[in-house]
Amino acid sequence: MLRRACAFLCGLFDRMPVHLAIVRRYVDANGHYVGELYMYGMFAGMGTYRLIGCSLDSLPLDMAALSLGDAPNTLDLEHDFLAIMPPNTLRVGAAEPKDNEGVRQMIARIPRRNIRLVIQNRFIEHIMERKA
């Protein structure tokens, strides 16, 4: 409990932005975007994005970036991917359902005002161009 209180207090003063990226891979039957979730960080002395999980979102297709501090209700860490999705929502999880809670807890520890989200649509746009 003391550890949680310390983490909460540190989060109040932490101003470092945390960069997350979702790379949309396809559109599911409900019209939501399924993709991969990446986090930016220093690995082996280099700044790079590392795959940490999966994403499901109902954000607009033309959205390229978002600060979750400006849209606090966007991130949904409580529901599974199969639950009904409200508009403008992002859900995160893992490739294996048993690991979903670990990914959600990792994202929940980050103060939402520090999260910067980048959205990549290149794969979906490539498929859409082929159909045209």
- Model pLDDT for residues 56-72, shown as the tens digit of each residue: 999 998 888 999 888 88
Q: What separation in angstroms does the CA of 101 have from each of 80, 95, 96, 98?
A: 10, 11, 10, 7
pLDDT (tens digit, 9 = 90+) per residue, 88-124? 999 999 988 899 999 999 999 999 899 999 998 876 6
3-state SS track over the chain: CHHHHHHHHHHHHCCCCEEEEEEEEEECCCCCEEEEEEEEEEECCEEEEEEEEEEEECCCCCCCEEECCCCCCCEECCCCCCCCCCCCCEEEECCCHHHHHHHHHHHHCCCHHHEEEEEECHHHHHHHHHHC
Q: What is the pTM of this model?
A: 0.79
Q: Specify if 123 maps to a domain.
A: yes
Domain membership flag for residue 2: no
Is 58 inside any structural domain? yes
Domain count for the chain, please give it. Answer: 1
Q: What is the mean pLDDT of residues 79-83?
A: 91
Q: Does 1 map to a domain?
A: no
For 101, the domain range is: 17-131
For residue 10, being part of any structural domain is answered with: no
pLDDT in tens, 23-32: 999 899 999 9
